[in-house]
Structure 1
Amino acid sequence: MLDVNLTAHHRTCHARTPGMIERRWGRIVNIGSVNTRAGRSNLVAYSTAKAGMLGLTPSLARELGPYGICVNTVMPGAIQVEAENALPARHRARPENQIKRQCVPRRGRPDDVVALVALVALVAFLVGPSASFITGQSVHVDGGWLLH
């Protein structure tokens, strides 16, 4: 879990940044999880790995900012996906309980995140030149599950 959800991000960032440093421009957008701040029983390794993104993102932002490189994280909440049906029952949150914790009273759908990423263009914005003064941030896409 740590290798896939944290170590791989760290290695990928460090593998790609030399070219960004040379160009003195670059954007890194990590995909985290709302479980970082909410926690979830039986998902300790996953939540811990994703929490590592909250250390990786601002640290890389400080390290790479002088080279014109911005680093941010998008943190989706509970998005209903087909793959969750294959999880053991103890790892699946009851949808009704999840919805009660959110301001938007429905499950997140894949197109909520896809639309944000592809159509509404949060990630496209973050990787573009207009986001040159946004770095080290975490943006939640979670229906108001966590308010901060």
Structure 2
Amino acid sequence: MTTSRTALITGGVSGLGKATADRLQSEGVSVITLDITEGADLVVDVTDAAAVQAAADQVGPIDILVNSAGIVGPNAPLWEVPPDGWRRTFEVNVHGTFNTCRAFAPGMRDRGWGRIVNIASMAGKDGNPNMAAYSASKAAVIALTKSLGKELATSGVLANVIAPAVIETPMNAATAPEALAHITSLIPMRRIGHPEEVAELIAWLASDKVSFSTGAVYDISGGRATY
């Protein structure tokens, strides 16, 4: 990467977002964090399309967009999931990703170079029990990225999505213990992942080293992924 590149990372104050920010900064990339948490460079709710667009107008051109903002949502059987919990999960995980891609992708396309990395989950491929809202929302992020990758395929902008298994983050600290134990038991390596391991994959996907891959899903699952 060149030192002149700028990355914007949603959810960049903690978890995978922070690990990615640290990793990209180590290569000289200028990082802008966008989060609802104080301490972010831009305190913005990704579910607010107008606020996201205003942030894009304020920031100006960026080269790399990493969508890390997300929530787990309700931990319950589908028939017990409250409608507002379902909606909120989609608002953050899907609408938030849509809002940022919609705001920042055109500028990348105009300049002829860009990298978009969206963060989904193995839950979006396998479906985790008692996590229907989260699983469905992450499946939507996967499909959104596949479409976006095709739309940008000749523009110089690559859009890819990663599907981590359970990672040691503050978000997963709030997951119900029985749900966490179940999804950890599915990992052949018999451990959860670390944010720095995921950040390494994101940094690669955000670099010039990737040039013939777009609209693709990259698993980082300790062997859990089967397709």
TM-score range, shorter-chain basis?
Answer: 0.7 to 0.9
TM-score normalised according to structure 2 size: 0.56
Runs of 4+ in structure 1 displaced over 6 angstroms? none
Map 1:83-98; keep pairs closer than 5 Å. 83-88=171-176, 92-93=178-179, 95=181, 97-98=182-183
What's 1:7 paired with? 95
TM-score by length of 1: 0.83
Q: Deviations over 1:107-136 (max 9, x none)?
A: x14xx232331xxx3212211122111111
- 2:124–2:135 CA contact under 8 A, matched in 1: yes
Structure 2 equivalent of residue 103 of structure 1: 188
After the TM superposition, which residues 1-148 of structure 1 pair with which residues of structure 2 at under 5 Å, given as runs? 1-88=89-176, 92-93=178-179, 95=181, 97-106=182-191, 108-109=192-193, 112-117=194-199, 121-148=200-227
Distance 2:226 2:107 in 1: 37
Runs of 5+ unmatched residues, structure 2: 1-88
Shift of 1:84: 3.9
Superposed displacement of residue 66, structure 1: 1.5
The share of aligned pairs that are identical, in percent, is 33
CA distance in 1, matches of 2:173, 2:110: 45
Task: Give the 3 Å change call, closer, same or farther, for CA 130–80 of structure 1 in structure 2.
Answer: closer
The aligned length equals 139
Q: Which amino acid aligns with 1:147?
A: T
Compute the RMSD of aligned alpha carbons: 1.9
Q: Deviations over 1:68-101 (max 9, x none)?
A: 1101111110124454444455xx4252x44442
